[in-house]
């Protein structure tokens, strides 16, 4: 029973996230830089048991130093006892030499001017020695993992970080990049999302109002040294970088009626479940086995946005088809497989997952992608859909590990390259999204951006 419940875990994860007031849903983007690498993932693990935190998909972060001063973090328990696990699969049974190092980043993603000795304690590089071959799988792979920080390498400063995994001791052979955040909480963050935006009432958009309360004894000067970054569902493509506050008080910054903090509401994520190689799970039409490969053919998806007019469907208004609430985990995924004995990470199969999006005509002014954490929230050839004029649909086939996966169809116009969901998924003010607020501080003369606050709201 336990092995067959990845969608149930989606519901549990959703309920868990509803109570979370601080979780790094942005700065922990993880990207694969080689076609031989699949299922790159970050998650929290318990430092004592070395077990995943609750087994649910959580975008992790780290807290620097003592957690007694937990402004902006909320009552999520003692996070000092949590580590970040980074794992990935290399698609063979050959043992590869992987090494990792850590870089300190500025808020804009560029490398800071700090040397490694200024933000790392211990070694600056370390080999990955924890690996295990897949067991009884048709697709051979080797599962590699590391935990960070550890006894040989730890962090001494707050900020954004990039953990770089490379092969054969050559840093030009990068295979995985994992971005995460280390926060030193010094600010209380009050925020809410409202549908009554400065450009539209109860329509396609959501707007954030944010208050930063630094307390009466703060040593931080509230001027241009403080700025925020806001991201939606772990995405970088629509992030808002350093909007100007509406009001500045002695110990408080207010972002009220700030037009820069208006986001597309979008729509709830679609999902599928491939826990079984024998039976079709949620949103799976059928499972086939051909030439030693498993194939999961998903149900044909219909357009939910304004582009539904191309398929001859009735569009209710400019928001797209009528909004329907669905449980999702805002684009994340979990690995889950039935009939496993020891470890799902090494016994789960890889399947060719086939997406189909019905569309009467192709769009010549942009491209369609399958978006979500399974593709690192990126738009590349790996998740770009092609149009089939005979079947009148967009399609994509990708090798995906068994489990439960959230996804959406993203449209990227050729001109402005700004991802939108309005044409494919629709956009609604009711949609439950996850917004992460980062507060950065760079005092005069400093050479790096500190993270002094972080919070997630829905």
Q: Is the pLDDT of residue 70 over 90?
A: no
Asked if residue 235 and residue 167 are part of one domain, the reply reads no
Burial class (CB in 10 A: 0-12, 13-18, 19+), 78: exposed
Q: What confidence tens digit (pLDDT) does each residue in 199-254 have?
A: 999 999 999 999 999 887 666 777 778 999 999 998 989 999 999 999 988 889 99
- Indicate whether 44 belongs to any domain: yes
Asked if residue 366 and residue 314 are part of one domain, the reply reads yes
Residue 309 pLDDT class (50, 70, 90 cuts) = low
Asked if residue 124 and residue 83 are part of one domain, the reply reads yes
pLDDT of residue 428: 95
- Indicate whether 259 belongs to any domain: yes
Residue 65 pLDDT class (50, 70, 90 cuts) = low
pLDDT (average), residues 427-443:
94
Residue 306 pLDDT class (50, 70, 90 cuts) = confident
Asked if residue 394 and residue 274 are part of one domain, the reply reads yes
Asked if residue 281 and residue 249 are part of one domain, the reply reads no
The Cα-based distances of 231 to 13, 56, 130, 174, 285 in angstroms read 20, 21, 33, 26, 34
Tokens 């960070």 correspond to what residue?
Answer: 148
- Indicate whether 157 belongs to any domain: yes
Asked if residue 290 and residue 255 are part of one domain, the reply reads no
Q: How far apart are CA 76 and CA 374, in angstroms?
A: 26
Q: What confidence tens digit (pLDDT) does each residue in 88-98 have?
A: 999 999 999 99
Asked if residue 253 and residue 140 are part of one domain, the reply reads no
The domain boundary, picked from 141, 158, 183, lies at: 183
- Which residue range(s) make up the domain with 77? 2-183
pLDDT of residue 310: 53
The domain boundary, picked from 183, 207, 233, lies at: 183
pLDDT (average), residues 290-303:
95
- Indicate whether 371 belongs to any domain: yes
Decide: 434 and 456 in contact? Cβ < 8 Å: yes
Asked if residue 330 and residue 253 are part of one domain, the reply reads no
CATH assignment of the domain containing 44: 2.70.50
- Indicate whether 431 belongs to any domain: no
Q: What confidence tens digit (pLDDT) does each residue in 6-50 have?
A: 444 433 333 333 322 232 222 348 999 999 999 999 988 877 767
User: What does pLDDT average to over the chain?
Assistant: 86
Q: What confidence tens digit (pLDDT) does each residue in 318-353 have?
A: 787 888 888 999 999 999 999 888 899 999 999 999
Asked if residue 404 and residue 283 are part of one domain, the reply reads yes
pLDDT over 90 percentage in the chain: 71
Total domains present in the chain: 3
The domain boundary, picked from 139, 165, 183, lies at: 183
pLDDT (average), residues 270-292:
95
pLDDT (average), residues 121-137:
96
Which element (helix H / strand E) includes 117? helix 116-119
Asked if residue 153 and residue 19 are part of one domain, the reply reads yes
Asked if residue 338 and residue 200 are part of one domain, the reply reads no
Decide: 305 and 317 in contact? Cβ < 8 Å: no
- Indicate whether 423 belongs to any domain: no
- Indicate whether 287 belongs to any domain: yes
pLDDT of residue 48: 73
Lowest mean pLDDT among 28-32, 51-55, 435-439: 51-55
pLDDT (average), residues 137-145:
97
pLDDT over 70 percentage in the chain: 85
DSSP labels, 294-343: EEEEEPPBPP-SGGGGGGTPPP-BTTBSPP------TT-EEE--TT-SS-
Q: Is the pLDDT of residue 434 over 70?
A: yes
Residue 317 pLDDT class (50, 70, 90 cuts) = low
- Indicate whether 300 belongs to any domain: yes
Asked if residue 166 and residue 200 are part of one domain, the reply reads no
Q: Is the pLDDT of residue 302 over 70?
A: yes
């Amino acid at each position: 029973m336990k092995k067959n419940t990845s969608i149930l875990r989606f519901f549990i994860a959703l309920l868990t996230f509803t109570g979370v007031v601080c979780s790094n849903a942005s700065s922990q983007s993880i990207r694969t830089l080689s076609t031989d690498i699949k299922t790159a993932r970050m998650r929290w693990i318990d430092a004592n048991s070395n077990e995943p935190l609750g087994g649910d998909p959580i975008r992790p972060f780290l807290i620097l130093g003592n957690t007694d001063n937990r402004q902006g973090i909320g009552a999520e328990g003692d996070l000092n006892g949590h580590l970040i696990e980074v794992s990935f699969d290399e698609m063979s049974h050959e043992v590869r030499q992987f090494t990792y190092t850590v870089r300190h980043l500025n808020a804009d993603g560029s490398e800071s001017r700090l040397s490694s000795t200024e933000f790392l304690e211990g070694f600056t590089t370390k080999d990955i020695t924890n690996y295990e071959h897949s067991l009884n799988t048709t697709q051979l792979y080797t599962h590699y993992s590391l935990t960070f920080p550890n006894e040989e390498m730890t962090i001494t400063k707050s900020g954004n970080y990039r953990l770089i995994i490379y092969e054969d001791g050559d840093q030009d052979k990068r295979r995985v990049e994992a971005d995460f955040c280390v926060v030193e909480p010094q600010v209380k963050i009050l925020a809410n999302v409202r549908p009554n935006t400065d450009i539209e009432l109860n329509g396609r958009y959501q707007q954030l109002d944010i208050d930063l309360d630094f307390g009466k004894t703060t040593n931080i000067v509230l001027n241009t040294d403080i700025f925020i970054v806001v991201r939606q569902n772990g995405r970088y493509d629509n992030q808002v970088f350093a909007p100007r506050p509406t009001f500045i008080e002695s110990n408080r910054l207010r972002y009220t009626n700030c037009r820069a903090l208006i986001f597309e509401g979008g729509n709830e994520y679609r999902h599928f479940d491939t826990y079984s190689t024998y039976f079709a799970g949620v949103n799976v039409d059928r499972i086939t086995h051909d030439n030693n490969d498993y194939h999961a053919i998903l149900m044909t998806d219909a357009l939910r946005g304004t582009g539904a007019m191309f398929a001859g469907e009735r569009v209710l208004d400019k928001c797209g088809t009528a909004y329907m609430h669905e449980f999702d985990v805002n684009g994340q995924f979990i690995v889950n497989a039935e009939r496993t004995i020891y470890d799902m990470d090494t016994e789960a199969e890889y399947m060719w997952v086939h997406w189909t999006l019905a569309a009467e005509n192709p769009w010549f002014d942009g491209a369609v992608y399958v978006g979500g954490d399974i593709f690192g929230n990126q738009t590349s050839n790996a998740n770009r859909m092609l149009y089939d004029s005979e079947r009148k649909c967009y399609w994509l086939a990708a090798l995906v590990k068994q489990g439960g996966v959230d996804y959406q169809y993203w449209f990227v116009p050729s001109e402005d390259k700004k991802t939108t969901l309005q044409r494919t998924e629709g956009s609604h003010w009711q949609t439950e999204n996850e917004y992460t607020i980062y507060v950065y501080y760079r005092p005069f003369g400093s050479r790096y951006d500190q993270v002094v606050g972080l919070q997630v709201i829905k």
